[in-house]
Protein backbone atom coordinates (compact mmCIF):
# COMPACT_ATOMS: atom_id res chain seq x y z
CA UNK A 1 0.00 0.00 0.00
CA UNK A 2 1.32 3.44 -0.91
CA UNK A 3 1.05 5.96 1.86
CA UNK A 4 3.26 8.75 0.56
CA UNK A 5 3.62 11.44 3.20
CA UNK A 6 1.67 9.26 5.68
CA UNK A 7 4.26 6.46 5.70
CA UNK A 8 5.49 5.21 9.07
CA UNK A 9 8.95 6.68 8.68
CA UNK A 10 7.54 10.20 8.81
CA UNK A 11 6.37 10.50 12.41
CA UNK A 12 6.14 14.26 12.25
CA UNK A 13 3.21 14.10 9.85
CA UNK A 14 1.30 11.91 12.27
CA UNK A 15 2.07 14.15 15.21
CA UNK A 16 1.10 17.39 13.50
CA UNK A 17 -2.58 17.42 14.56
CA UNK A 18 -1.63 16.95 18.19
CA UNK A 19 1.15 19.52 17.98
CA UNK A 20 -1.28 21.98 16.44
CA UNK A 21 -3.83 21.41 19.23
CA UNK A 22 -1.20 21.74 21.92
CA UNK A 23 0.17 24.96 20.46
CA UNK A 24 -3.22 26.51 19.75
CA UNK A 25 -4.96 25.64 23.00
CA UNK A 26 -2.18 25.33 25.58
CA UNK A 27 1.10 26.96 24.61
CA UNK A 28 -0.23 30.13 22.98
CA UNK A 29 -2.82 30.89 25.72
CA UNK A 30 -0.20 30.24 28.40
CA UNK A 31 2.29 32.66 26.89
CA UNK A 32 -0.46 35.16 26.14
CA UNK A 33 -1.44 34.92 29.82
CA UNK A 34 2.13 35.57 30.91
CA UNK A 35 2.29 38.52 28.54
CA UNK A 36 -1.06 39.77 29.87
CA UNK A 37 0.19 39.69 33.45
CA UNK A 38 2.64 42.48 32.58
CA UNK A 39 -0.09 44.61 31.05
CA UNK A 40 -3.37 46.10 32.17
CA UNK A 41 -6.49 47.23 30.35
CA UNK A 42 -6.84 51.01 30.40
CA UNK A 43 -10.59 51.71 30.12
CA UNK A 44 -10.24 55.28 28.89
CA UNK A 45 -7.58 54.48 26.30
CA UNK A 46 -9.50 51.28 25.48
CA UNK A 47 -6.27 49.32 25.14
CA UNK A 48 -3.76 47.22 27.03
CA UNK A 49 -0.86 49.19 28.41
CA UNK A 50 2.44 47.88 29.73
CA UNK A 51 2.64 48.09 33.54
CA UNK A 52 5.79 46.06 34.28
CA UNK A 53 5.76 44.19 37.60
CA UNK A 54 2.84 46.18 38.99
CA UNK A 55 0.33 43.31 38.80
CA UNK A 56 2.70 40.93 40.56
CA UNK A 57 3.47 43.46 43.29
CA UNK A 58 -0.23 44.07 43.76
CA UNK A 59 -0.88 40.33 43.94
CA UNK A 60 1.35 39.76 46.95
CA UNK A 61 0.08 42.88 48.70
CA UNK A 62 -3.60 42.14 48.04
CA UNK A 63 -5.39 41.01 51.25
CA UNK A 64 -8.33 39.69 49.20
CA UNK A 65 -5.97 37.50 47.19
CA UNK A 66 -4.56 36.03 50.40
CA UNK A 67 -8.04 35.53 51.83
CA UNK A 68 -9.23 33.68 48.71
CA UNK A 69 -5.99 31.69 48.64
CA UNK A 70 -6.64 30.63 52.24
CA UNK A 71 -10.23 29.73 51.42
CA UNK A 72 -9.07 27.68 48.44
CA UNK A 73 -6.48 25.77 50.51
CA UNK A 74 -8.97 25.08 53.30
CA UNK A 75 -11.57 23.90 50.81
CA UNK A 76 -8.92 21.82 49.05
CA UNK A 77 -7.76 20.03 52.21
CA UNK A 78 -11.21 19.36 53.67
CA UNK A 79 -12.94 18.27 50.46
CA UNK A 80 -10.05 16.15 49.22
CA UNK A 81 -9.67 14.37 52.58
CA UNK A 82 -13.40 13.77 52.85
CA UNK A 83 -13.62 12.40 49.33
CA UNK A 84 -10.62 10.09 49.80
CA UNK A 85 -11.76 8.71 53.17
CA UNK A 86 -15.44 8.37 52.22
CA UNK A 87 -14.53 7.06 48.77
CA UNK A 88 -12.32 4.34 50.25
CA UNK A 89 -14.88 3.40 52.90
CA UNK A 90 -17.70 3.08 50.36
CA UNK A 91 -15.45 1.24 47.88
CA UNK A 92 -14.57 -1.31 50.58
CA UNK A 93 -18.27 -1.78 51.34
CA UNK A 94 -19.17 -2.22 47.67
CA UNK A 95 -16.30 -4.62 46.88
CA UNK A 96 -18.60 -7.66 47.12
CA UNK A 97 -19.81 -10.28 44.71
CA UNK A 98 -23.18 -10.67 46.46
CA UNK A 99 -26.41 -10.14 44.54
CA UNK A 100 -27.35 -6.49 44.07
CA UNK A 101 -23.90 -4.97 44.54
CA UNK A 102 -23.44 -4.52 40.80
CA UNK A 103 -26.60 -2.42 40.74
CA UNK A 104 -25.38 -0.39 43.71
CA UNK A 105 -22.10 0.31 41.94
CA UNK A 106 -24.00 1.50 38.87
CA UNK A 107 -26.36 3.72 40.84
CA UNK A 108 -23.40 5.34 42.52
CA UNK A 109 -22.09 6.72 39.23
CA UNK A 110 -25.28 8.70 38.64
CA UNK A 111 -24.05 11.79 40.49
CA UNK A 112 -21.24 12.09 37.98
CA UNK A 113 -23.56 12.71 35.03
CA UNK A 114 -25.14 15.80 36.61
CA UNK A 115 -23.45 19.08 35.58
CA UNK A 116 -21.76 20.65 38.64
CA UNK A 117 -23.72 23.89 38.18
CA UNK A 118 -26.95 21.89 38.45
CA UNK A 119 -25.67 20.18 41.59
CA UNK A 120 -24.99 23.67 42.94
CA UNK A 121 -28.59 24.65 42.20
CA UNK A 122 -29.85 21.47 43.88
CA UNK A 123 -27.87 22.17 47.02
CA UNK A 124 -29.04 25.75 46.98
CA UNK A 125 -32.54 24.31 47.43
CA UNK A 126 -31.48 21.57 49.85
CA UNK A 127 -29.81 24.16 52.08
CA UNK A 128 -32.53 26.78 51.70
CA UNK A 129 -33.45 28.27 55.13
CA UNK A 130 -37.20 28.18 54.38
CA UNK A 131 -37.85 24.80 52.81
CA UNK A 132 -34.48 23.08 52.42
CA UNK A 133 -34.46 19.47 53.52
CA UNK A 134 -31.01 19.75 55.10
CA UNK A 135 -32.08 22.79 57.12
CA UNK A 136 -35.10 20.83 58.30
CA UNK A 137 -33.01 17.77 59.26
CA UNK A 138 -30.41 19.84 61.07
CA UNK A 139 -32.98 21.83 62.99
CA UNK A 140 -34.99 18.69 63.82
CA UNK A 141 -31.84 17.17 65.27
CA UNK A 142 -31.22 20.35 67.19
CA UNK A 143 -27.83 20.85 65.55
CA UNK A 144 -28.64 24.13 63.87
CA UNK A 145 -31.36 26.67 64.32
CA UNK A 146 -33.67 27.31 61.37
CA UNK A 147 -33.03 31.01 61.66
CA UNK A 148 -29.40 30.53 60.62
CA UNK A 149 -29.25 30.29 56.80
CA UNK A 150 -26.41 27.92 55.98
CA UNK A 151 -25.24 29.61 52.80
CA UNK A 152 -25.76 33.16 54.08
CA UNK A 153 -23.78 32.74 57.28
CA UNK A 154 -20.06 33.40 57.04
CA UNK A 155 -19.07 30.52 59.34
CA UNK A 156 -21.14 27.85 57.54
CA UNK A 157 -21.36 28.98 53.90
CA UNK A 158 -18.14 27.28 52.77
CA UNK A 159 -19.19 24.03 54.48
CA UNK A 160 -22.48 24.21 52.59
CA UNK A 161 -20.58 24.46 49.32
CA UNK A 162 -18.22 21.64 50.29
CA UNK A 163 -21.20 19.37 50.84
CA UNK A 164 -22.24 19.69 47.19
CA UNK A 165 -18.72 18.93 45.98
CA UNK A 166 -18.32 15.93 48.31
CA UNK A 167 -21.74 14.56 47.32
CA UNK A 168 -20.96 14.79 43.63
CA UNK A 169 -17.35 13.63 43.56
CA UNK A 170 -17.05 10.96 46.27
CA UNK A 171 -18.52 8.40 43.80
CA UNK A 172 -15.71 9.26 41.41
CA UNK A 173 -13.22 8.22 44.10
CA UNK A 174 -15.30 5.12 44.82
CA UNK A 175 -15.08 4.09 41.16
CA UNK A 176 -11.31 4.49 40.98
CA UNK A 177 -10.78 2.74 44.33
CA UNK A 178 -13.12 -0.11 43.38
CA UNK A 179 -11.19 -0.67 40.17
CA UNK A 180 -8.05 -0.86 42.27
CA UNK A 181 -9.53 -3.12 44.94
CA UNK A 182 -10.90 -5.55 42.38
CA UNK A 183 -7.50 -6.01 40.78
CA UNK A 184 -5.74 -6.90 44.05
CA UNK A 185 -4.40 -10.47 44.29
CA UNK A 186 -6.45 -12.70 46.64
CA UNK A 187 -3.51 -14.73 47.98
CA UNK A 188 -1.98 -12.21 50.40
CA UNK A 189 -5.40 -11.88 52.01
CA UNK A 190 -5.63 -15.62 52.56
CA UNK A 191 -2.13 -15.63 53.99
CA UNK A 192 -3.02 -12.72 56.28
CA UNK A 193 -6.13 -14.54 57.52
CA UNK A 194 -4.01 -17.54 58.46
CA UNK A 195 -1.42 -15.27 60.05
CA UNK A 196 -4.24 -14.14 62.32
CA UNK A 197 -4.57 -10.56 61.10
CA UNK A 198 -7.74 -8.64 61.97
CA UNK A 199 -9.72 -6.81 59.29
CA UNK A 200 -8.22 -3.47 60.32
CA UNK A 201 -4.68 -4.87 60.36
CA UNK A 202 -5.23 -6.42 56.93
CA UNK A 203 -6.48 -3.10 55.58
CA UNK A 204 -3.65 -1.10 57.10
CA UNK A 205 -0.76 -3.41 56.26
CA UNK A 206 -1.92 -4.99 53.01
CA UNK A 207 -4.77 -3.15 51.26
CA UNK A 208 -3.54 0.38 51.86
CA UNK A 209 0.06 -0.22 50.70
CA UNK A 210 -1.18 -2.17 47.67
CA UNK A 211 -3.60 0.64 46.83
CA UNK A 212 -1.10 3.45 47.32
CA UNK A 213 -0.53 4.05 43.62
CA UNK A 214 -4.24 4.08 42.87
CA UNK A 215 -4.86 6.47 45.76
CA UNK A 216 -2.03 8.71 44.56
CA UNK A 217 -3.50 8.96 41.06
CA UNK A 218 -6.99 9.66 42.42
CA UNK A 219 -5.69 12.33 44.80
CA UNK A 220 -3.76 14.00 42.00
CA UNK A 221 -6.66 14.11 39.54
CA UNK A 222 -9.21 15.23 42.12
CA UNK A 223 -6.77 17.58 43.85
CA UNK A 224 -6.14 19.57 40.68
CA UNK A 225 -9.87 19.65 40.01
CA UNK A 226 -10.77 20.81 43.50
CA UNK A 227 -8.09 23.48 43.48
CA UNK A 228 -9.63 25.22 40.46
CA UNK A 229 -13.23 24.75 41.69
CA UNK A 230 -15.54 27.48 40.39
CA UNK A 231 -19.05 26.17 39.64
CA UNK A 232 -20.32 25.50 43.14
CA UNK A 233 -19.33 28.82 44.72
CA UNK A 234 -20.43 30.73 41.63
CA UNK A 235 -23.90 29.18 41.70
CA UNK A 236 -24.42 28.82 45.44
CA UNK A 237 -22.85 31.85 47.11
CA UNK A 238 -21.14 34.01 44.46
CA UNK A 239 -18.33 34.32 46.96
CA UNK A 240 -20.54 35.56 49.78
CA UNK A 241 -21.58 36.31 52.37
CA UNK A 242 -19.11 39.17 52.14
CA UNK A 243 -15.99 37.59 50.67
CA UNK A 244 -16.08 34.48 52.86
CA UNK A 245 -16.39 31.92 50.04
CA UNK A 246 -14.20 33.56 47.41
CA UNK A 247 -11.82 31.00 45.98
CA UNK A 248 -8.81 31.90 43.85
CA UNK A 249 -10.59 31.02 40.63
CA UNK A 250 -13.71 32.95 41.55
CA UNK A 251 -11.60 35.95 42.56
CA UNK A 252 -9.63 35.93 39.33
CA UNK A 253 -12.88 35.55 37.40
CA UNK A 254 -14.27 38.59 39.22
CA UNK A 255 -11.17 40.67 38.53
CA UNK A 256 -11.14 39.71 34.87
CA UNK A 257 -14.77 39.83 33.87
CA UNK A 258 -16.53 42.05 36.41
CA UNK A 259 -13.80 44.61 36.96
CA UNK A 260 -12.28 44.23 33.46
CA UNK A 261 -8.82 43.97 34.97
CA UNK A 262 -7.51 41.54 32.41
CA UNK A 263 -3.91 41.89 33.43
CA UNK A 264 -4.53 41.33 37.14
CA UNK A 265 -6.95 38.46 36.43
CA UNK A 266 -4.27 36.79 34.31
CA UNK A 267 -1.73 37.31 37.11
CA UNK A 268 -4.08 35.67 39.64
CA UNK A 269 -4.67 32.65 37.42
CA UNK A 270 -0.93 32.29 36.76
CA UNK A 271 -0.32 32.37 40.50
CA UNK A 272 -2.91 29.59 40.95
CA UNK A 273 -1.17 27.61 38.21
CA UNK A 274 2.20 27.95 39.94
CA UNK A 275 0.73 26.91 43.31
CA UNK A 276 -0.96 23.80 41.92
CA UNK A 277 2.19 22.86 39.98
CA UNK A 278 4.24 23.07 43.16
CA UNK A 279 1.71 21.12 45.22
CA UNK A 280 1.25 18.47 42.54
CA UNK A 281 4.97 17.96 42.03
CA UNK A 282 5.66 17.86 45.75
CA UNK A 283 2.95 15.24 46.04
CA UNK A 284 4.26 13.19 43.12
CA UNK A 285 7.73 13.30 44.67
CA UNK A 286 6.49 12.40 48.16
CA UNK A 287 4.09 9.69 47.01
CA UNK A 288 6.59 7.85 44.84
CA UNK A 289 5.39 4.53 46.15
CA UNK A 290 7.42 1.51 45.07
CA UNK A 291 6.96 -2.19 45.75
Q: What is the 3-state secondary structure (H, E, C) of the chain?
A: CCCHHHCCCCHHHHHHHHHHHHHHHHHHHHHHHHHHCCEEEECCCCEEEECCCHHHHHHHHCHHHHHHHHHHHHHHHHHHHHHHHHHHHHHHHHCCCCCCHHHHHHHHHHHHHCCHHHHHHHHHHHCCCCCCHHHHHHHHCCCCCCCCCHHHCCCCHHHHHHHHHHHHHHHHHHHHHHHHHHCCCCHHHHHHHHCCCCHHHHHHHHHHHHHHHHHHHHHHHHHHHHHCCCHHHHHHCCCCCCCCCCCHHHHHHHHHHHCCCHHHHHHHHHHHHHHHHHHHHHHHHHCCCCC
286 binds other proteins (CB under 8 A): no
> Minimum Å distance from CB 208 to other proteins?
9
Shortest distance (Å) from residue 88 CB to other proteins: 17
CB of 143 or CB of 194, closer to other proteins = 194
Q: If binding means CB under 8 A, how many residues of this protein chain bind other proteins?
A: 19
* Residue 190 engages other proteins in binding (rule: CB under 8 A): yes
Shortest approach of other proteins to residue 183 CB, angstroms?
Answer: 13
Least distance (Å) between residue 201 CB and other proteins: 6
Considering beta carbons, is residue 64 or 205 the nearer one to other proteins?
205
Which 192-221 residues touch other proteins, going by CB under 8 A? 192-198, 201, 205-206, 209-210, 212
Return the residues of window 10-69 that contact other proteins according to CB under 8 A.
Answer: none
Which x/- pattern over 146-185 shows residues binding other proteins (rule: CB under 8 A)? ---------------------------------------x
Q: Does 115 bind other proteins (CB under 8 A)?
A: no
Q: Which residues bind other proteins (CB under 8 A)?
A: 185, 187-188, 190-198, 201, 205-206, 209-210, 212, 291
Amino acid sequence: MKLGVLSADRPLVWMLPLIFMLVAFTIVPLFYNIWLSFHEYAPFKRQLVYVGMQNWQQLFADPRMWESFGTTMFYFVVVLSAEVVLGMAIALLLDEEEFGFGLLRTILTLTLVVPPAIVGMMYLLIEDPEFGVLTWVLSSLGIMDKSTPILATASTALWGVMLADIWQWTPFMVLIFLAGLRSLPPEPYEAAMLDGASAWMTFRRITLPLMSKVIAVAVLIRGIDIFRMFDYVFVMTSGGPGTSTYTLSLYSWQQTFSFIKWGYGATLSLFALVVILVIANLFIWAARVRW
